[in-house]
Chain A
Amino acid sequence: MPGQKLYPRATVRKIVKAHSNCNVSKNADVMMFLDYMLFMQTLMKEAAIEAKQGGERGITARSVRKVTADSLARFRG
């Protein structure tokens, strides 16, 4: 899907703006989404490890939930 957008920029801006009560400068959301991608990468990696250790076949909700707190803590600024 070549023409597909990676993510809705306006949505990301809205989300961050709502949470921070700040304005978001013009291209800052790109970096934010990049950060989000890194977070997702960490989360899925940890979840995959967790699932493998737990003997599950794929990534399940349990494994994701288990590693969510840790991944979030690592992305604490």
Chain B
Amino acid sequence: MASEGQQPDATPASRRASSAEPLASINRRPILRTPGSHARGLPPRPQGLSASGRKAAPPTATPHARAAFRAIDSRRAAIFTPHRARRKSLREVRDSPRDFLLSLGRVLARTTQVITTSSSSSSSPGDGGGKDRRESDGAGNETTLGGISVVDDEDDDEELPKRPRLSLPIDEEDDDDDSDDLQPHRSVLIDDENFTMQSIEMPRRAISEQPGGRLSLGSTRMSDYFNVNDMLHSEDVGIDSGFFPPTAVLDEGNLTVGPEELPSPERLDSEADRRDFGRESDLGIEVPVGDVNDSTFVIAPQVQESPDRPLFADGEPGLDNYAPLVDQRSDDYDDEELLGEVPPLEEEQMEDPSLRPRDETEIESVAVQRAEVRDGSKKKSIKVSKYGIEYPSLPPAVVKRLAQNFAKANGAKGQITPDAMKAIMQASDWFFEQLGEDLQAYAKHAGRKTIDESDVLTLMRRQRQINPNITPFALAQRHLPRELLQELRMTPPAVPKKRSRAKGAADDEDVT
């Protein structure tokens, strides 16, 4: 801080062109201060004693005790010290992390350059001030500069007279001088080691940027994310693509296969396989005949209604309503296979009308017409759609094989418990109902009575399963066996034209 020693440097530097500004600012450091450089001018104070003359907190004190000491000291200092000396008395107390940072800044300020800011006050000795002086004084600037700089340096060394300030200053040290009453004691506020570090490092965000802030964006991000996941995942599946034969073989090897896994779906119709089937459902379901009497079972033993879809607005409660339906399915298996062994069928039918309306009030009430009586010879579970058309459900072997494959592809074990299998079957029933409704809407919209392949493609595009990057043929190649692929490719003249018209020029390779 030798002001006289630096002064000869300062004058020639200020005479230079303004392009050499950084260098000039380095040389005239006493004038161009970074925040905190005030304090270096002050004479060193004895560190051990507080304003009240009491010894500072012993080093062995706990952090809380030290903080308490500091609070008391600063309060006392605030009371007893006059206006100007207050700041000095507070300086001793500083050993909080923020003060460490401040002193570090003071040390580093010698080697760093001052950054010219737009908000630098005209009175603060910044670059702007220097420029002003240079511009205003034409010829005799050396002498005036020298004089001013001398004055500034003396300010540093002595007692910091207040400068007239026209704008908000950057440096906070001056604030202590001006607004003394409202200034909180730093040593109290920014208190001690752990807590303070955290509070300093606490991230601050605008309200608009906080995580919960933008819901709509978040939701779109979710959907994007799902799409990305789908893509990623479908690549995973692509690894074992053409995958049904190999994984099926794996199934045999692993012996994770349920008894109904092995036979082909055609042979499922035969009696022996169905016998297998019944055994499996007996094992897994654990619904003894005695339990059927309980009212927890809502059962339509003869004919299942079209499976109801959960209300998505309701979420969980909606799902809870369907738990009985799943059980009902399980019981249906029992009915099919062990028809003779289930005596309380009539009771269930009696229970049925009393329990069902409650469900239908919450669920979308499909106009379900039940077929009157299922003939006993028919062994498959027959459900009736809302159009009064009976339909079978997918063979569970197919669903289970699919589920196992996809579960393995997702890193889970290929094991799927019978309960989970029931839930999956229920989900696929709902899926097909939804699929049928959507496809019907598309076909009707196109003025057709026939669901076309283009309808399915439109649906898949709306489901974001198909986009310009994922062509339906890529998907089909990944998932379908060759004979079905050939079925798909048998229709090149009709389908690709529609597809290309709908999707634009993005998928050229599809058209070819």
Contacts and interface: CB of A to CB of B under 8 A. Distances in A.
B434 interface: yes
Contacts of B244: 1, 4, 6
Interface residues of B, number: 97
Given A15-B391, A16-B435, A45-B229, A6 B410 contact: no
B436 A19 contact: yes
A59 B411 contact: no
B391 A36 contact: no
27 contacts: A5-B264, A6-B480, A12-B394, A15-B394, A18-B387, A19-B387, A19-B440, A21-B385, A22-B443, A22-B448, A25-B452, A26-B491, A31-B476, A33-B480, A33-B484, A35-B460, A35-B463, A37-B480, A40-B424, A41-B233, A47-B420, A64-B427, A68-B310, A68-B423, A69-B310, A77-B439, A77-B462
A40 B402 contact: yes
B481 interface: yes
Given A30-B480, A48-B412, A63-B420, A75 B407 contact: no
Given A58-B412, A58-B415, A72-B309, 4 more contacts: A22-B439, A43-B424, A57-B413, A75-B434
A4 to B, nearest CB: 5
Contacts of A48: 407, 410-412
Contact of A60 (B409, B420, B437): B420
Nearest to B390: A18
A59 B433 contact: no
A42 B228 CA distance: 12
Given A4-B264, A34-B475, A35-B456, A65 B423 contact: yes
Contact of A35 (B384, B387, B394, B435): B435
Contact of B412 (A22, A35, A36, A59): A59
Contacts of B306: 19
B412 A51 contact: yes
Contacts of A39: 428, 431
A28 B508 CA distance: 22
A69 to B, nearest CB: 5
Nearest to A67: B427
B262 to A, nearest CB: 8
Contacts, number: 261
A48 to B, nearest CB: 4
A11 interface: yes
- Of all A-B residue pairs in the complex, the 7 with the closest CB atoms, nearest first, are A19-B436, A77-B438, A18-B391, A20-B440, A61-B419, A44-B406, A18-B389
Nearest to B452: A25
Interface in B315-334: 315, 318-319, 322-323, 326
Could you say which interface size class chain A belongs to?
35 or more
Interface of B: 226, 229-230, 233-234, 237, 244-245, 248-249, 264-266, 306, 309-310, 312, 315, 318-319, 322-323, 326, 384-387, 389-395, 398-399, 402-403, 406-407, 409-413, 415-417, 419-420, 422-424, 426-428, 430-444, 448-453, 455-460, 462-463, 465, 472, 475-476, 479-481, 484, 487-488, 490-491
B484 A6 contact: yes
Contacts of A33: 480, 484
